[in-house]
Structure 1
């Protein structure tokens, strides 16, 4: 299991890049040290892979277009394929540690289009109403899933039969999850076109955040009117497009401050926030410290 304290993305996107993912066995296990992520959070992103997680210690908040959920130590969940989500470390008293199984469903289904995929996999990953399935202690079915998620982390890649044993336990988890999700799947759910539209606009912002971005230009990137652009941002990210653009620029500034030595005046222009005086003002509102103090804090931390 690999310790991680940052996230990588495909260029110009917020689809997560998984550098250790191998096509012949599309699975990775990670131990996320959330307090070591810059800002102690993981920004809005998505991935085609399914995410099964267990909270080893601390607590974490998951945000999706459907709302927010808090996961304390001992709980866990499943994030569905291509679901937009962000996470924040919440505990101030103990380390916020999350264990993750991330895998492509082809690991369980085998050949695309076969009976297993059609009967057990597709009904879950294509259900737009299923964004995040929580597992909490106290519910027998959910407790059993949590035990198996934790057990799967104890397998060693050096053991004989590791790949088969791991696939077997993930398949067992999936069957239990399939039954647990039945009530959710039976609720009528239509494909949410806003999910596709918000991703197009997010990609546009990530490619052009250094430049001036107008709302008409942003809306046009997703073939929407300005009114629809505002609605989609409100429905999916619970904020305005202007707020998201500013937040993304500030996130970019945090990365530059934590990882580089460029002067603050250069960073303020490189992240699209203009003058250093305005940058200092909005940065302090966002991070509750000056850009210089932020750089000192993160460059001196043991990451």
Structure 2
């Protein structure tokens, strides 16, 4: 099981890059301590793989374009394929730890187009009404799934047959998720193209954050008018395009400060925030630290 304190993205996208994720074994388990994440949150992102999670300590807020759900310790759930989401712990000084399985559904479905995929996988992964399946321990069927999620995390990786046993448990979890969400699956909803549009604009920002980004150019990247651009950001991310651009630039600045010795002035220009004085002002408002103090805190974190 891996321990992470940040996420990385594929070049030119906001799709999360999953370490140790390979075609012959498309699965990764991780332990996420949100207190060790820069800014104590995981920014907006998505991944084709599905995400099963269990909250070990603290309370974690999941946000999607449709709203937010709180998950206290002992609860968990599933984030569906390609769903845009971010997470943020509740409480300033409360340790929040999350156990996560991320896997491509081919791991349990087998070959693309198989009967298992058609009958059991696609009805869930293609259902727009199923962004997140929330699971709470006060429901016995849901508690059973939560127990399975924990059991799978603690399978000994070096034990003979680990891969097959893991696939067996994940398959059992999937069938149980199918059962607990059956009533929701009966609802007929159309795919919301707004999500695709905001992803296109997020990709544009990821590619151009170091330079000037105008709203007309950003809107054009998703074939929208400026007015529609503002509406899509408001509806999906509950912020303006400018707020998102600034936030993303500051996220990049945090990574540069924590992982390099580049001068603050160079970082301020590299992340598209201009002069070091403006960068320092905005950074302190956003993070509560000066860039120098932030660098000192995170580069000395494990010492």
CA distance in 2, matches of 1:261, 1:93: 29
The SS at the match of 2:16 is coil
CA offsets, 1:134-170, max 9 Å, x none? 1111111111110111111221122222222111111
Q: Taking structure 2 as the reference length, what is the TM-score of the superposition?
A: 0.96
* Aligned residue number for residue 50 of structure 2: 50
Aligned pairs for 1:9-88 (under 5 A) are 9-88=9-88
CA distance in 1, matches of 2:153, 2:290: 40
* Aligned residue number for residue 184 of structure 2: 184
Task: Indicate if the aligned counterparts of 2:57 and 2:96 stay in contact, CA closer than 8 A.
Answer: yes
Q: What 5-or-longer segments of structure 1 have no aligned partner?
A: none
Task: Indicate if the aligned counterparts of 2:54 and 2:98 stay in contact, CA closer than 8 A.
Answer: yes
Task: Indicate if the aligned counterparts of 2:19 and 2:28 stay in contact, CA closer than 8 A.
Answer: no
* Aligned residue number for residue 226 of structure 1: 226
The SS at the match of 2:273 is coil
Of 122-131 and 177-186, deviating more is 177-186
* Aligned residue number for residue 274 of structure 1: 274
Q: What 5-or-longer segments of structure 2 have no aligned partner?
A: none
CA distance in 1, matches of 2:197, 2:269: 28
* Aligned residue number for residue 6 of structure 2: 6
RMSD of aligned Cα (Å): 1.4
Q: Taking structure 1 as the reference length, what is the TM-score of the superposition?
A: 0.96
Task: Indicate if the aligned counterparts of 2:44 and 2:85 stay in contact, CA closer than 8 A.
Answer: yes
Aligned pairs for 1:180-219 (under 5 A) are 180-219=180-219
* Aligned residue number for residue 260 of structure 1: 260
CA distance in 1, matches of 2:8, 2:276: 28
Aligned length: 303
Stretches of 4+ aligned residues off by more than 2 angstroms: 89-95
Deviation at 1:6, TM superposition (A): 1.9
Alpha-carbon distance change, 93 to 241 in structure 1, aligned in 2, over 3 angstroms: closer
The SS at the match of 1:53 is strand
* Aligned residue number for residue 165 of structure 1: 165
CA distance in 2, matches of 1:3, 1:280: 31
The SS at the match of 1:210 is coil
Deviation at 1:187, TM superposition (A): 2.0
CA distance in 2, matches of 1:169, 1:212: 49
The SS at the match of 2:227 is helix
CA distance in 2, matches of 1:19, 1:289: 30
* Aligned residue number for residue 106 of structure 1: 106
Deviation at 1:111, TM superposition (A): 1.4
CA distance in 2, matches of 1:256, 1:109: 40
The SS at the match of 2:43 is strand
CA distance in 2, matches of 1:278, 1:92: 27
CA distance in 2, matches of 1:181, 1:279: 47
CA distance in 1, matches of 2:183, 2:234: 27
Task: Indicate if the aligned counterparts of 1:60 and 1:91 stay in contact, CA closer than 8 A.
Answer: no
